Structure 1
């Protein structure tokens, strides 16, 4: 058997597909292997480049193979798809593994940094919290809709529903029967249990922020709270992988989609690519920064006020979220502290000239 220099792996729950080539790009191995034999197969292989898609369990397998001495690289799925033979109409595990192997050979391919168990553990807190919030929202909407079936209408907002729910359910003047009242009260108990779970996760996230110096520096940015700081540190593993803040903002999905050609730039809507959870947190932080901008007199706040007066609230919201992403890049990549009066050297030279 020729010496294997690169292996493309299509991960799955039970059966992994392998596609290996040698230094002349000749196919050496094309086979499926069970999950139980996956690590042992690589343990008997000389260290080489192993490429996988960044998907479920990819970081776990990457850490296992890296411990064996292999050079493991994770490829975003959208970057490997163009190398699939047959395009979008032809897809199977063998073709996917071959496409991953081919994509890894490109000299300018972008890869996903491998997360540590500690970073993934922090993201578990965020994902559990997001799931509980979605469950609570669905439960609240269900309770409100069921009450409306009996002519019991409550004011909008979760706080208003929590305030008036018990009184309206126990009101004997409505058409609710005893089994329905009991079922609704069970729904209220589940609602309170979800509130307790979310509060516990908030406490754990706050503890992570208090123990992480990078997260504490991120929190000094106006509009960046505990959730955003914790998610940014755990999601952006190494901010130095981005050349500048503009690249990080584009990775999060806070830049316009381009359809430019012939030297004529055409900018469309925001791409919404990248991490949607971190992007949503930055949007929420931008809302608070816009609301507080008129109460401050620093350079960043004046810019926000002037921008809102010129282009309106919603475009300013995206611009401020983009600005926060770039600031977070400087904080995480360079170890700098946030300064609302900061002026870059190029802007200062332009103003003085």
Structure 2
């Protein structure tokens, strides 16, 4: 048998494979253990055979391993595989659905990340979780001190300044036991602050050492965090035919509900990478705040847009434009060209 295409259902310890020949006939179905499945695929299929997997945890690692063995690897988003999975779900059916989905000519595939991209992505994910933990810690402190009649300020920076004052004052009603607990919570908050700062320093170092991230920081509203997040998420951007495809994949283009020749555009779709989308919108909001002091074409464009629509609409539109410009810079290796920004 000569396999033309193999679908692989990834798991923790047991991998299910489904292979078809040139006549689209299923000729290889196997349930393989984690430590032997790569060897089994290498023995059953020739180099150049297509191997498809869902883009889930560990998929990029296995994709690189298969590419090193000469296979052509295709990663598919799980939501695109689901319509091709037969009824009565099982691992074998999932592998069959993956094998069928990857054969569709209109199927969209997920680009395989390099080790460097995954390193940057890991830094961002750890930082995001630490920021969430820090916010939760601040909210916990606010809720606890409220039981003692103390109102905590809203901003985290003000809360950091308020806690030492509460600990020093003897007439605010705090018991000795709770003062000890509050001191420990304060130390936890300071520890989280230090960890977040360490990771932000690492992100800044990455943004200085990566040529693509350095170029992306020429864009208005793009700093080290956004630049490195874009590099980790989209790489060289060759998987997108144009900038609109990139902005659509980030959920920055309008969703559509059209029927019977009547076109109806809704709000942005909010599909794809929510983290990168939120960063781009926040960067656009920061740029909009300072646009009034600038006289370039992009600043005039976004100010006019904000004047005739809601400022949030202008921020999302600017984020969309930033994503498109980022695609052009990554795809063609060019610098930011202000004259073309508002074209």
TM-score over 0.5 for the alignment? yes
Show the counterpart of 1:76: 77
Q: Report the CA distance between 1:68 and its aligned residue.
A: 1.2
| Cα deviation digits, residues 244-287 of structure 1 (max 9, x gap) | 11111000110111111232211112111111111011011011
Show the counterpart of 1:241: 239
Show the counterpart of 1:351: none
Show the counterpart of 1:140: 138
Map 1:205-284 → 2, pairs under 5 A:
205-284=203-282
SS in 1 for 2:158: helix
Q: Report the CA distance between 1:336 and its aligned residue.
A: 2.0
Q: Report the CA distance between 1:169 and its aligned residue.
A: 3.2
Show the counterpart of 1:177: 175
2:68 is aligned with 1:41: no
User: Could you tell me how far apart the structure 1 residues matched to 2:2 and 2:98 are?
Assistant: 19
Show the counterpart of 2:59: 58
| Cα deviation digits, residues 136-193 of structure 1 (max 9, x gap) | 0111100111111111112211011011112113422233222221112111111111
Q: Report the CA distance between 1:343 and its aligned residue.
A: 6.4
- 1:8/1:19 contact within 8 Å kept: yes
User: Could you tell me how far apart the structure 1 residues matched to 2:227 and 2:135 are?
Assistant: 24
- 1:113/1:238 contact within 8 Å kept: no
- 2:298/2:341 contact within 8 Å kept: no
User: Could you tell me how far apart the structure 2 residues matched to 1:240 and 1:31 are?
Assistant: 34
**TM-score of the superposition, structure 1-length normalised?**
0.93
User: Could you tell me how far apart the structure 2 residues matched to 1:300 and 1:213 are?
Assistant: 24
Show the counterpart of 1:22: 21
Q: Report the CA distance between 1:29 and its aligned residue.
A: 2.0
Name the count of aligned residue pairs: 341
- 1:170/1:181 contact within 8 Å kept: no
User: Could you tell me how far apart the structure 2 residues matched to 1:318 and 1:133 are?
Assistant: 24
Structure 1 runs of 4+ off > 3 angstroms? Answer: none
**TM-score of the superposition, structure 2-length normalised?**
0.96
User: Could you tell me how far apart the structure 2 residues matched to 1:302 and 1:266 are?
Assistant: 29
Show the counterpart of 2:283: 285
| Cα deviation digits, residues 30-87 of structure 1 (max 9, x gap) | 232111112221232322110000110000011111111111111111111111113x
Gaps of 5+ in 1: 348-353
SS in 1 for 2:218: coil
SS in 2 for 1:263: coil
- 2:325/2:341 contact within 8 Å kept: no
User: Could you tell me how far apart the structure 2 residues matched to 1:4 and 1:299 are?
Assistant: 56
Map 1:88-167 → 2, pairs under 5 A:
90-167=88-165
Gaps of 5+ in 2: none
